[in-house]
Every structure is written in structure tokens, then in C-alpha cells.
Amino acid sequence: MNQTLLNRTEFKESVFKRDNHKCVICGKPAVDAHHIIDRSLFDDGGYYLDNGVSLCFEHHMLAEETEISCEFLRSHAKIKNILYPSDLSLNEFVMDYDKWGNPILKDGRRLKGYIFRNANVQKIIQSRLKDFDKPYDPIVDKYPRTYHFPFSPGTTSDDRIAKNTNILYKRPVIITEKLDGENCLDADTLIITEFDGKKTIKWLCENEYKGRVLTYNVNTELEEFQYVMNWSILDNIGDWYELELEDGKTLILTGNHRVWLVDLQCYRKVNDLKEGDDFLLKR
Ligand SMILES: [Zn+2]
């Protein structure tokens, strides 16, 4: 661990100073210098700058309950150096740990760590006890943002703008309104395969298609053929919610879909919304 061990006061001061005394998630005044990995897991108290993050009351609670992952906190505080207690280590199976040292595996599952049974841990993660040995599903930054065209009306400095629009040159393009849930495509959407012509998404999944399909690399902004990494077909379990919007319109979304909670400044699954929660479809 190549960082200076601080005392409690120095820890709070230096964490607040780095984060400008603001909650790294919502920007409200910080009230807690939160230990990303709990201090009880460190044999020296874990008061290291890179193990701390400034949070408001609400986000501190969510972080303690592991509703917000350590990874999410580190990325918001721009912490590059990941500190783990000496007896928690990563390996070919373990990808990360939650606040209470519960391992998160590469396959997404969260297992029970060695202080899982401690009374204080049980109490604080009470609402999530049923979620162990299953995929860990904390609040996250939704999906990678989709690029806008440079000529799209209404873009702001916050939007990602595509620089390379040459791929559109002399090609028929269908332009549709950008809707919430736009990352989802209909089962009948046609995908261009490398050697088998156009196929629907449904067909690709049903046949567990092993060939390459045309994709768009958002980093290089170039098209390339890539193998399909996985296929899955979920049953329609009727997990649909009808949400009423302020303008009286209704919107039908699946329970898995995430909406932006105005008060908490984070995304939450439609499943977990309570009546009267204020939400936006987008941040
Ligand atoms: Zn906050």
C-alpha cells in the first residue's frame, strides 16, 4: 500500500479537500468522509486518502448499504489507486469487493465475505441479504451514452458528439426520434452478418449465431465485424410497469429499466420505485 496512513481527522480533512467538500455523486455539501472499504477490514484502520470519498447523508446511507458499489464511488472521486486490506486480494475469480469485503466475482455474483455474519454488517445490509450468491446489482451509471451527430439540434457540452460521420456517406439512413430505452432493439431488428446476409436479432439468438456481425466501435468511431459474445432469450414474465408522467401521458417500461431519481441524483430500477417518487427518464 503506497499511501500515507492518516489519522481520523486528517482523513476527513484530506478527503473533503480533494472532493471540494461536496458529495462526489450529487454535489450537495459533504457530511461524511466515507470509508470505501470498511475500516474494520484493515488492520491499520484504513484511513488512507484513496480509501475515502465525500458523500452527503443520502448517498452515504446508500454506500453503506452497498446499494452503491465501491467501483462507482471510486470512479466518481476519480480514484485510480485501488486500496484493499492485506487479506482481500483479487484473483482469476474475484473482480472486486463491496464495502464489507464481500467478494464480487467475474461472473457478476456476490458472495459472502468473512465479516458477513457480524451483527453490524447484517444490520446495515439487511435490505440486500436476499441478493447474495446472486448477481450484484448496485446503482450504476446506466448505459454507455450514445453519440449525437454534430448537427443534432439541442446538444449540450455534456453530450457525446460523434466526430466521424463519414460512415453515413452515400448510404440510406433511417432517422428516428431518440427515445428513452433507445439502447434496446426490437427482436425483428435486422443485423448485418459478415457472410450470411441480414438476420434478425431473434434469429441470431435462437440459432446462437457463431459468425461475426457488423458493429460500431464507439471508441474508434469505426465499423467493424465482431463475434457475438453471448445470446440469451428471456421469457416475457409480464414484468411491465405503466408509469404516469406529469403531462398525463403514460409510459410502459420493464421493471429492469432505470430512471433518474431527481432527489438522489442516481438511477434506480423501475421495480424499486415507490409511489410519488420524482424521476426523469434521463439525467
Ligand atoms: Zn449525495
What spacing in Å lies between the alpha carbon of 179 and ligand 1's midpoint? 27
Q: What is the pLDDT of residues 137-184, one digit of tens each?
A: 887 654 445 667 777 777 776 666 777 677 677 777 777 665 555 556
Q: Name all contacts of 80-87 with Cβ < 8 Å and 24+ positions apart.
A: 81/2, 81/3, 81/50, 82/50, 83/1, 83/3, 83/36, 83/37, 83/46, 83/48, 83/50, 83/51, 84/37, 85/37, 85/41, 85/42, 85/43, 85/46, 86/1, 86/42, 86/43, 87/41
Q: Are residues 125 and 13 in the same domain?
A: yes
Q: 146: helix, coil or strand?
A: coil
Number of independent structural domains in the chain: 3
Going by their DSSP bridges, the two strands 190-192 and 198-200 should be labelled as antiparallel
Q: Are residues 43 and 110 in the same domain?
A: yes
What spacing in Å lies between the alpha carbon of 39 and ligand 1's midpoint? 21
What spacing in Å lies between the alpha carbon of 112 and ligand 1's midpoint? 27
Q: Are residues 29 and 95 in the same domain?
A: yes
What spacing in Å lies between the alpha carbon of 25 and ligand 1's midpoint? 5
Q: Are residues 199 and 273 in the same domain?
A: no
The DSSP bridge partners found for residue 192 are 198
Q: Are residues 62 and 176 in the same domain?
A: no
The region of weakest confidence among 5-19, 141-155, 246-260 is: 141-155
pLDDT at 157: 64
Q: Cα–Cα distance between 54 and 12 in angstroms, integer?
A: 8
The whole-number average pLDDT for the span 241-258 is 78
**pLDDT band with cut points at 50, 70 and 90 for residue 219:** low
Q: What is the pLDDT of residues 21-43, one digit of tens each?
A: 999 988 889 999 999 999 999 99
Percent of the chain with pLDDT over 90: 44
Q: Cα–Cα distance between 35 and 209 in angstroms, integer?
A: 45
What spacing in Å lies between the alpha carbon of 11 and ligand 1's midpoint? 19
Does the residue 217 lie in any domain? yes
What spacing in Å lies between the alpha carbon of 94 and ligand 1's midpoint? 29
What spacing in Å lies between the alpha carbon of 42 and ligand 1's midpoint? 26
What spacing in Å lies between the alpha carbon of 126 and ligand 1's midpoint? 21
pLDDT at 159: 66
What spacing in Å lies between the alpha carbon of 222 and ligand 1's midpoint? 37
Q: Are residues 23 and 117 in the same domain?
A: yes
pLDDT at 2: 61
What spacing in Å lies between the alpha carbon of 59 and ligand 1's midpoint? 5
Q: Are residues 198 and 249 in the same domain?
A: no
Q: Are residues 258 and 190 in the same domain?
A: no
pLDDT at 182: 54
Does the residue 161 lie in any domain? no
pLDDT at 237: 66
Radius of gyration of the chain (CA): 22
What spacing in Å lies between the alpha carbon of 116 and ligand 1's midpoint? 26
What spacing in Å lies between the alpha carbon of 202 and ligand 1's midpoint? 41
What spacing in Å lies between the alpha carbon of 157 and ligand 1's midpoint? 23
Q: Are 191 and 204 in contact (CB under 8 A)?
A: yes
What spacing in Å lies between the alpha carbon of 15 and ligand 1's midpoint? 15
Q: Residue 214's domain spans which residues?
A: 166-227
Q: What is the pLDDT of residues 123-136, one digit of tens each?
A: 998 878 888 988 88
What spacing in Å lies between the alpha carbon of 23 and ligand 1's midpoint? 5
Main-chain phi, psi angles of 94, to 5 degrees: -95, 125
Going by their DSSP bridges, the two strands 240-244 and 222-227 should be labelled as unpaired
What spacing in Å lies between the alpha carbon of 264 and ligand 1's midpoint? 7
Q: Are residues 107 and 207 in the same domain?
A: no
Segment holding 199, helix H or strand E? strand 198-200
Considering only residues 12 and 163, tell me which one the structure prediction assigns the higher pLDDT.
12
Q: Are residues 122 and 101 in the same domain?
A: yes
Smallest Cα–Cα separation from 264: which of 277, 245, 275? 277
Please state the separation of Cα 100 from the chain's center in Å: 19
Q: Cα–Cα distance between 239 and 246 in angstroms, integer?
A: 23
Does the residue 79 lie in any domain? yes
Sign of CA dihedral 126, 127, 130, 132: negative
Does the pLDDT value for residue 14 go beyond 90? yes
CB neighbours (10 Å) of residue 177? 5
What spacing in Å lies between the alpha carbon of 68 and ligand 1's midpoint? 11
Q: Are residues 84 and 194 in the same domain?
A: no
Q: What is the pLDDT of residues 87-126, one digit of tens each?
A: 898 998 999 999 999 999 988 899 999 999 999 999 998 8
What spacing in Å lies between the alpha carbon of 9 and ligand 1's midpoint? 21
